[in-house]
């Protein structure tokens, strides 16, 4: 809770016009008859939030387009910061990491993502070391990524989420993705469900509010 609260205290310095133009390009639905004209594009809103806040939580059931949205968030951030952007993809299990990697790579050419992005388990990202109780990356040695996406976050235990949050740099974009009603952690805690269920607090970035108002 302390780390998450500290991460909500600042907003990135961003070009509003550039964000809006890139979002329009990535989320263009001119011929979608299923979307009412007055309905906001929730995926576009999620991408705008992920660009303007250090931490974003994307939840939804199967087939709601979570990884579709994640790929476009990565494309948005890549266009804002360039291909030198260091991207970390992780999930609690090897199988979930492989699915995330496959989904992102399927869209890399279409979206202009850095090629061959690799996903790994959260343990591997943190630098698990056999025979040691401490991960390689921690509060005193932060992870090197500029943006980190964690898929299937509902499976991440309270202890592991604490270790991850401590290891993430304050200025790193952190995107937590998952379904709070599915695949609960086998260890203590229900972090994603708690994050989704808690009251929304704090101020929104004025850039985010103006960009979303254009949808």
Question: Which stretch of 60-64, 78-82, 149-153 has the lowest confidence by average pLDDT?
Answer: 60-64
Please check the confidence at residue 182 and state whether its pLDDT lies above 80. Answer: no
Please check the confidence at residue 36 and state whether its pLDDT lies above 70. Answer: no
Rg (CA), the chain: 17
Residue 125 to residue 75: CA distance in whole angstroms: 22
pLDDT category of residue 34 using cuts at 50, 70 and 90: very low
Residue 51 to residue 19: CA distance in whole angstroms: 8
Distances, alpha carbon 165 to alpha carbons 102, 143, 173, in Å = 25, 10, 11
Give tens-digit pLDDT for 71-123: 999 999 999 998 889 999 999 999 999 999 999 999 999 999 999 999 999 99
Please check the confidence at residue 35 and state whether its pLDDT lies above 70. Answer: no
Distances, alpha carbon 92 to alpha carbons 18, 45, 79, 146, 156, in Å = 34, 26, 28, 20, 6
Average pLDDT, the chain: 85
Contact 192, 180 (CB under 8 A): yes
């Amino acid at each position: 809770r302390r780390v998450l609260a500290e991460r909500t205290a600042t907003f990135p310095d961003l070009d509003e016009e550039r964000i809006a133009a890139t979002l329009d390009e990535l989320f263009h639905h001119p011929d979608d008859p299923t979307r009412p004209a007055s309905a906001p594009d929730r995926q576009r809103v999620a991408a705008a939030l992920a660009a303007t806040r250090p931490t974003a939580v994307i939840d939804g059931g199967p087939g709601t387009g979570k990884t579709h949205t994640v790929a476009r968030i990565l494309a948005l951030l890549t266009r804002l910061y360039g291909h030198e952007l260091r991207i970390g993809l992780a999930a609690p299990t090897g199988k979930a990491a492989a699915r995330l990697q496959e989904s992102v790579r399927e869209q890399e050419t279409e979206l202009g993502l850095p090629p061959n992005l690799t996903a790994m388990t959260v343990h591997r990202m943190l630098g698990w070391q056999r025979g040691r109780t401490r991960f390689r990356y921690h509060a005193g040695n932060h992870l090197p990524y500029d943006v980190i996406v964690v898929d299937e976050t509902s499976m991440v235990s309270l202890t592991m989420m604490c270790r991850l949050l401590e290891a993430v740099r304050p200025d790193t974009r952190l995107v937590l993705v998952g379904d709070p009603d599915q695949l609960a952690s086998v260890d203590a805690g229900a972090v994603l469900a708690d994050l989704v269920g808690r009251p929304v607090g704090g101020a929104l970035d004025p850039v985010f509010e103006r960009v979303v108002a254009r949808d």
